[in-house]
Amino acid sequence: MSRLVLFITIIFAAALIASAQDLVAARRSLMPVPAGVVWKSGRLAVTKDFTVALAGKTDERLKAYVSRAMRRLEGRTLLELSRDFAADAGKASLLIETASTGSAIPQLGDDESYTLDIDDKQARLKAPTTVGAMRGLETFLQLLEGDRAGFYLPAVAIKDRPRFAWRGLLIDSARHFQPVEVIKRNLDALAAVKMNVLHWHLTEDQGFRVESKKFPELHTMGSDGLFYTQEQIRDIIRYAADRGIRVMPEFDMPGHATSWVVSHPEIASLPGPYQIERRPGIFDPTLDPTNEQTYKLLEVFFAEMAGLFPDKYMHIGGDENEGKQWAANPKIQAFMKEKGLKNQDALQQYFNQRILKFIQKNGKIMMGWDEIFQPDIPKNIVIQSWRGQESLAKVSRQGNQGILSNGYYIDLMNPASEHYAVDPLPANTTLSAEEQKRVLGGEATMWAEWVSPETIDSRIWPRTAAIAERLWSPREVTEVDDMYRRLDTVSTRLEELGLTHRRNQAMLLRRLAGGTNINALETLLSVAEPVKGYRRYQVRPQTMLSPLTGLIDAAQADAPGARIFNKAVDELIARRDVPQNALLIEKMLGEWRAAGDDLKDQTENSPALAEARQLAADFTALARIARAAFEDLKLRRLPTAASSSDRPAGWRDAHLKALDEIAKQKAGLELVVVDAVRKMVVEVSEK
């Protein structure tokens, strides 16, 4: 942790304990916020004698989950706790009682509710199923506090259940392959924030990542040797099930299909040969919906995959098929005319209906993106919406179930606050009560054009925890500042599960700096973020083979220094004088100025940082403008303050013009404090 971030943490920790009300709030570091919480007086001590007892119907999954939870508790408290379950339930520190083991393989609709009651004698966790107990155990771990007297759990009564049944994360292993250990540690993180679906995107233009024993050429020719064996997939499914998480595969078609036709050009809509795609983007290769060979292969493939993946849902993608190959193939055009298919959408619907039969034959439910939604599709097809809440509402009104992903695209590098504001069922929804039941929940999407095993965690976490809260907690839980306060705590807790979202940034910076001190680079990245949306494609062209080890890859969304600086400036200008604001701004500007010389030297002397030379120069210039504006802003609070007329002519316009240039991306990064500095310049320039 850099000195600046450490200082910010200390300042905000001090603010949190400034009053009795804040002390209560500090206890509420739960995320997701439970459906019902009643804080009480008293505390349950956590000592080396802390024990756990099980009652009711238990299984090995629960015992293993409890054991892992206790090891995490040990790691936080430095206490060595018993490995055995207590025989006397009445004397145990934590009593866990489950009415049923539930489904061994998690299913949509499993009962995840629980109650947790803690007083000064015992903690009692009750749940109808094993999975419910798992969710309660995560809340139990989040309650741990400590003071001079030792570690303890505050007295509380919690009654909790999720708002939505489908709370997922899509991981794209096709564009950039993610090893098994990456998938597993992210499953641990999903369980920690009570998410329950891993949507595994396994085929794409850039790679075919699942072993097929029926068609081994698919993965041998379409993956560069980077794929999951069927035994590895079974291992992942078991690992997920032991954490109450479903695993749903996605095999994208008829578009996004290059890796399919590398080995099987005969099922492509135009003749091959084809090679694995190395670029990002949307590409032409598309499966031929008029060729019976296409369906013969897919029927066998889906039967094989249905036997491998036990989840009831199977995702066929169906998105972003531009139909260029269909339009260019006279045979396909003749087929459409013969069948009375008026356009590309109708042809894709014909394809989907054929695929649906294979999926239903194997006892599965078909799922796809918005593009497969048509007025006459069967009501048991589930739609995943990337288009938004209104599209999802339309799906529900027609009688289909659906989930929302629009607003949860974490690969776009938007701040957690933006994701947090998106609700699958917003307060102003016009859906009826029955239609609302068809909105199953939502999924965060980690598309993998620009992530490696070193950086993927930092793109998923901790922001996905905010999405997890939106999908679990009551709709009314919306306060952004409190969300960020708790998100910082969750981020720390995730590290104990092996997540690398924090630690790998320093590793990447040390590599870029050639072993020199990285304090200045950390200061820079505390206020700089990667460009948003899909601009990275344009501003920093790379392929799927390019190393993802640049400064843009070390940078993260929601730069902590920027968020805090921007808020402090807003409050200072509005004269909402939280005592720490001026001190905080002064301290940060000092850090920025001190970083300037080091950044200049590092970008000049490290070839790996050469692309950031202008960014470093801009940061130095920004610090100088911010300092001048801040000093004037402080002076304006005095009775003898100077007016804007005392400044040189053109002072305001010159600085605003300079800030406009500084705001432009360099090396794919943006200084996201420019607007706050601009506000200060404008404020001190007004008469």
Residues known to be catalytic? 320
Q: What is the C-alpha separation between 286 and 66, in angstroms, rounded?
A: 48
Q: What is the C-alpha separation between 151 and 336, in angstroms, rounded?
A: 70
End-to-end CA distance of the chain: 42
Q: For residue 269, give the 3-state DSSP assignment.
A: coil
DSSP string, 75-104: HHH-----SSPPS-TTT-SEEEEES----S
The neighbour count for residue 344, using CB atoms within 10 Å, is 17
Q: For residue 333, give the 3-state DSSP assignment.
A: helix
Q: What is the C-alpha separation between 500 and 451, in angstroms, rounded?
A: 13
Q: What is the C-alpha separation between 493 and 477, in angstroms, rounded?
A: 21
Partner residues linked to 154 by β-bridges: 43
Q: Nearest-CA neighbor of 529 among 675, 623, 669?
A: 669
178 half-sphere exposure, CB direction, 13 A CA radius: 31
CB burial readout 264-280, b (16+ within 10 A) else e: beebbbbeeebebbeeb
Q: What secondary structure letter does DSSP report for 280? A: -
Contact between 186 and 171 (Cβ < 8 Å): yes
Q: For residue 57, give the 3-state DSSP assignment.
A: coil
Contact between 409 and 389 (Cβ < 8 Å): no
Q: What is the C-alpha separation between 649 and 353, in angstroms, rounded?
A: 71
The neighbour count for residue 332, using CB atoms within 10 Å, is 23
445 half-sphere exposure, CB direction, 13 A CA radius: 17
253 half-sphere exposure, CB direction, 13 A CA radius: 31
Q: What secondary structure letter does DSSP report for 214? A: S
Contact between 287 and 268 (Cβ < 8 Å): yes
Residue 652's H or E segment, with its range, is: helix 651-662
Tokens (6 digits) for 123: 């903690």
Contact between 52 and 94 (Cβ < 8 Å): yes
Contact between 336 and 286 (Cβ < 8 Å): no
Find all residues with CB under 8 Å of 182, minimum gap 6, and list them.
453, 456, 457
Partner residues linked to 169 by β-bridges: 198, 444
Q: For residue 52, give the 3-state DSSP assignment.
A: strand
Q: Nearest-CA neighbor of 617 among 657, 666, 654, 653?
A: 666
- Residue 533's region, left for phi above 0, alpha for psi from -120 to 50, else beta, is left
Q: What is the C-alpha separation between 244 and 130, in angstroms, rounded?
A: 8
Q: What is the C-alpha separation between 300 and 606, in angstroms, rounded?
A: 54
Q: Nearest-CA neighbor of 678 among 632, 622, 614, 631?
A: 622
Contact between 380 and 365 (Cβ < 8 Å): yes
Tokens 């200072």 belong to: 572
Contact between 309 and 315 (Cβ < 8 Å): no
